[in-house]
Amino acid sequence: MKKNIIISGVGGQGILTIATVIGTAALSEGLELKQAEVHGMSQRGGDVQSHLRISSNPIASDLIPEGKADIIISIEPMESLRYVNMLHKKGGWLVTSMNPFNNIANYPPIEDVLNAIWKLPHYVTIDANRVAKDLGSIKAANIVVLGAASPFLDIKYESLEKAISSIFSKKGDDIVQLNLKALKAGKDYADERT
Amino acid sequence: MQKLLLLGDEAIAQGAIDAGISAVYAYPGTPSTEITEYIQVSKDASAKKIKSQWSANEKTAMETAIGMSYAGKKSLVCMKHVGLNVAADAFINSAITGANGGLVVLSADDPSMHSSQNEQDSRFYGKFALIPVMEPSNQQEAYDMTRYAFELSEKYGTPVLLRITTRLAHSRAGVKREAEVPQNKMKLSSDLQQFVLLPSIARKQYNMLLDKQELFEEDAMQSGFNKFFPAKDKSLGVIACGIAYNYLLENYEDGKIPFPVLKVSQYPVPRKMVEKLYEMVDEVLVLEDGYPIFEELLRGYLNKGKTIHGRMDGSIPRAGELNPNIVGKALGLEISEGFETPGVLAGRPPQLCQGCSHTDSFTALNEALEPYSRGRVLSDIGCYTLSALPPLEAINSCVDMGASITMAIGAADAGLFPVVAAIGDSTFTHSGMTGLLDAVNQKAPITVLLNDNATTGMTGGQNSSAFEKVDDIVRGVGVEEAHIRIIIPLRRNHEENVKVFQEELEYKGVSVIIARRECVQTLARRMKLKMMEKREAKA
Ligand SMILES: Cc1ncc(C[n+]2csc(CCOP(=O)(O)OP(=O)(O)O)c2C)c(N)n1
Ligand code: SF4
C-alpha cells in the first residue's frame, strides 16, 4: 500500500489538522509515514501545502514527485488547482471544498475555478462550509473535506474516526462528536457521487 | 521504545537532549526555530533543567555556548543559515580555541529561499572553519547524527557543524530514540590558555586544528555515515550529499540503484572513498541540496578529469531546492508529469494579518511621506517587511537584520532627507541598537520607526529580548527625550499619528517613533491561554 497525498489551503485554514488525523490513523495501522509541512513566511495568509506520504514500505523522499500524487485534498478550491501538476494523470483524485477564501484583489471568478476543476477526470467538490454549518460549526469544514476524501485514502474509516476522537479529545466531547459527524457527512457526500 | 513522529528539527532537539546537553542557545529563524521551541516545552528537558531561553542574536548565542564549552558542559547552538553570518566571528574562532565541553552548531539552510534573503550553503562555513560537518538525510539520521556530533566534538576537542535544509527541518517521520547520555559535570580545560587567542597562542592552536584535519577525514571514513554502495553499471557514479540521497532513491521504485553510489553525510569527505568511486566509473553525477561545493572540488579548477555532472554543467538547475524529478532528469530517466496548471490560478503571497499594528503604522507613515518623492524608507526584516507588497508598498529595502538604521545613516550622508528607518523590536535588540548609537553619535538626520509589537512575529511569536526595554534602550543610547515619540498604531489614532510622523520627518537629527501595539496573533494566543486557565481553575 502506498498513498501520496497533497493537502492544500490558505495559511490558517487548518490543513495541518487534516494531516495529523490521516497521519495518526496511518500510524495506528502500522504504516510508514513522511509528512513535509510548510512553516514560516508563507503561513501568513499565503498559499500552504503539505506533502503526506503513507506506505507499507519505507519511504525515501519527503517530497512527492510531480505527477505522482494519488489525491489532492484542499480546503480552498483555487488552491487545489495550484498542485494539479503533482496529480497522477491516471487515477489521481482531487477533493476540494467549493468555498473560496478571497483575500487577494485578483481572485478569479469562482465559476472559472470550478470549471477548471470539473475538467479533471476524478474530482469531488463539496460545499464544506454549508455542511459544517448545518452540523453546528463552520470550523469543522476541514474535517468535512477530509470525510469526502476518505473513500480514496486506503485507510480504514474506523481508524480515521479513532484518530479524530483522540486528537480532539482535549477540546471536549462536543467537539469530538461534531468532527465525527463532519467526517461522516463528507464521506456520505462522496459515496453518493462516485 | 516506540517511534516518535518528529520533524527533522524536533529529532535534532531530542537527539541533543538525549546526548546530554545542558543548554540550547539560539535566535529564532526559519527553518531552525522548532528545535529550540521543542526543547522549551519538552518535559524531559525541564526535568533535566536544560536551559533554553532565546538569545538576543546568533552571535551572543554562539558565544554563550563557547562559554559553556569552556566550563566543560555540552550545548547546542541553533540558527538559520544567515544567522551564521552574524555568529561567524565567534564561530570561526571557536574552531581555533577548540571545544572543551561538546559544542555543536546547527545551521538550517533554505534552498529556494522559502523564507530567506538568500540560499547560502552552510557547508562552506564548515570548510572555512576547518571543522567536521554532519549532514543528515532523514529524521532518524538527524537524531543519530546530533548525538554523534557531540561525541565527535568531545573526542577531538572541536566544534562540529550540523547542517540541514528546510525540507528535512519541516518534515515529519518516525524516529527511534537511544539510551540517554548524562550531562557533563563542570570541568575547565587542563590548558587554561586554550581560549586565549593572543597571536602566539592562536598560532599554536591553529596548528593543532590543522593537525586534526586528517583525523576528521579518517573519522568520516569510519563513522558509517558515509556509505559506498557498489553496483554493476559503471557508466555513471553518483555522489549524493545529505537529503539528496532520498531523491536519488525515490527514482528507483525497487530501491535498487543501478550505479555505484557514495552517500555523503559527514565532511570532510574521505578522499579514499571518493577516489574509489571515481576510478571505477566513466562519469560522475554530484547531487547537493545547496551550492555545488563538492562538485566544484571534484571538478577542480581546470576541469580536466572525467566528466562531472551537477549544477555546474546544467544537469541540475544552478539555483533552488532539489526534488525527486530534478534528480530523475539528471539521471536521464523518464519523468512523470501531472496535469497542466490552469490559467485561472492567481498568486497568493503572504500578507500582514487582519488587524496587524504594522498596517496602521505604515498607513500613517505613507500619508506623512506623501509630499516627498518616493523611495525614502529603509526597512529591516520582520512581518513588517510584507508592507513592501501592495496595498501598502511602504518600504524600499530589506537586506539583513539591523540594516535599516545604518543604511538610513548612509543614505542621509549621501543627501537623502527626510529618510526613514523601519525596524521591529526583536530586530532592534538583535542588531539595530548599535546602529542607533552610530546615528546618535553622528547626529544623523534620520527618523526611526520602531515597530514594537512585543514579540518576534515573523518566526511565530517567540519572546523578544526587547520586551519592555525598548524605551530605556533608546533613551540610554542618547536619543533626545523630545524626539522619542510613542504612538499607538490604531486606525482611530490615524490623524494624530500622521502628525507625529510629519513633525519628526522635518527634524534634522535622530528621532525615534515607537509604534507600540501587541501582535494580534500573540495577543489571541495569550487570551486563549488565560481562558483555558480560568476554565481549569473553575473545574
Ligand atoms: C540573521 C537573521 N536571523 C534571523 C532571521 C529570521 N528573522 C527574520 S525577521 C525576524 C524577527 C522579526 O521580529 P521583529 O523585528 O520584532 O518584527 P515582527 O516580525 O515582530 O514584526 C527573524 C528572527 C533572519 N532573517 N536573519
Ligand atoms: S504575526 Fe503579528 S506582527 Fe506578524 S503580521 Fe500577524 S499580527 Fe502582524
B96-105 per-position pLDDT tens digit: 999 999 999 9
- Which pLDDT band holds residue B428 (cuts at 50, 70, 90)? very high
Which of B521, B522, B526 has most ligand 2 atoms within 8 Å of CB, for mutation?
B521
In angstroms, rounded to a whole number, what is the distance separating the alpha carbons of residues B229 and A94? 39
Contacts of B501 (CB under 8 A, 6+ apart): B364, B365, B367, B368, B369, B447, B449, B513
pLDDT of the residue at A44:
76
Q: Which ligand is nearest to the CA of B489?
A: 2
Contacting B residues, span 463-522, partner chain A, CB-CB under 8 Å: none
pLDDT of the residue at A41:
57
pLDDT in tens, B444-457: 999 999 999 999 99
CB atoms within 10 A of CB B232: 7
The CATH number for A105's domain is: 3.40.920.10
What amino acid is encoded at B87 in this protein? A
pLDDT of the residue at A42:
57
Q: Whose CA is nearest to atom 1 of ligand 2?
A: B457
Local structure of A139: helix, strand or coil? helix
B chain contacts of residue A64, beta-carbon cutoff 8 Å: 324
Report the run of H or E that residue B425 belongs to, with start and end: helix B425-427
Q: Whose CA is nearest to atom 7 of ligand 1?
A: B29
B253 close to A (CB below 8 A): no
Which of B353, B357, B387 has most ligand 2 atoms within 8 Å of CB, for mutation?
B353
Q: Quick one: which of A92, A98, A93, A102 has its CA closest to A77?
A: A98
Question: How far does residue B382's CA lie from ligand 1's centre (Å)?
Answer: 5
A23 with B5: Cβ contact below 8 A: yes
- Which of B339, B353, B384, B531 has the most A C-beta neighbours within 10 Å, making it the best mutation to test the interface with A? B339
B176 close to A (CB below 8 A): no
- The answer to whether residues B111 and B242 touch, using CB atoms and an 8 Å cutoff, is no
What integer best gives the mean pLDDT of chain B? 97
Given a cut of 80, whether residue A40 has pLDDT beyond it is no
pLDDT of the residue at B539:
73
A63 close to B (CB below 8 A): yes
pLDDT of the residue at A39:
74
Cell of B376: 525614502
Given a cut of 90, whether residue B536 has pLDDT beyond it is no
For CA atoms B21, B22, B25, B29, the dihedral sign is positive
B chain contacts of residue A108, beta-carbon cutoff 8 Å: 344-346
B324 with A61: Cβ contact below 8 A: yes
CB atoms within 10 A of CB B259: 22
Q: Which ligand is nearest to the CA of B525?
A: 2
What average pLDDT score do residues B80-98 get?
A: 98
- The answer to whether residues B377 and B396 touch, using CB atoms and an 8 Å cutoff, is yes
Contacts of A141 (CB under 8 A, 6+ apart): A75, A97, A99, A128, A129, A131, A132, A182
In angstroms, rounded to a whole number, what is the distance separating the alpha carbons of residues A38 and B41? 21
Question: How far does residue B458's CA lie from ligand 2's centre (Å)?
Answer: 7
pLDDT of the residue at B313:
97
A65 with B345: Cβ contact below 8 A: no
Given a cut of 90, whether residue A14 has pLDDT beyond it is no
For chain B, list the domains and their CATH numbers.
3-186+195-211 (3.40.50.970), 227-330 (3.40.50.920), 357-523 (3.40.50.970)
Local structure of B418: helix, strand or coil? coil
How many domains, in total, are found in chain A?
1
What amino acid is encoded at B305 in this protein? G
Among chain B residues, the shortest Cα distance to A61 is held by B246
Q: Quick one: which of B260, B252, B262 has its CA closest to B287?
A: B262
Local structure of A160: helix, strand or coil? helix
The domain in which residue A61 lies consists of: 2-193
B346 with A87: Cβ contact below 8 A: no
Given a cut of 90, whether residue B1 has pLDDT beyond it is no
In angstroms, rounded to a whole number, what is the distance separating the alpha carbons of residues B19 and B162? 14
B505: Cα within 13 Å, side-chain hemisphere = 23
- Which pLDDT band holds residue A194 (cuts at 50, 70, 90)? confident
A104 with B346: Cβ contact below 8 A: yes
B433 phi, psi to nearest 5 deg: -70, -30
DSSP string over B341-396: PPTT-------PPTT-HHHHHHHHHHHHHTTSPS--EEE-SSGGGGGGSTTT----
- Which pLDDT band holds residue A32 (cuts at 50, 70, 90)? very high
B115 with A42: Cβ contact below 8 A: yes
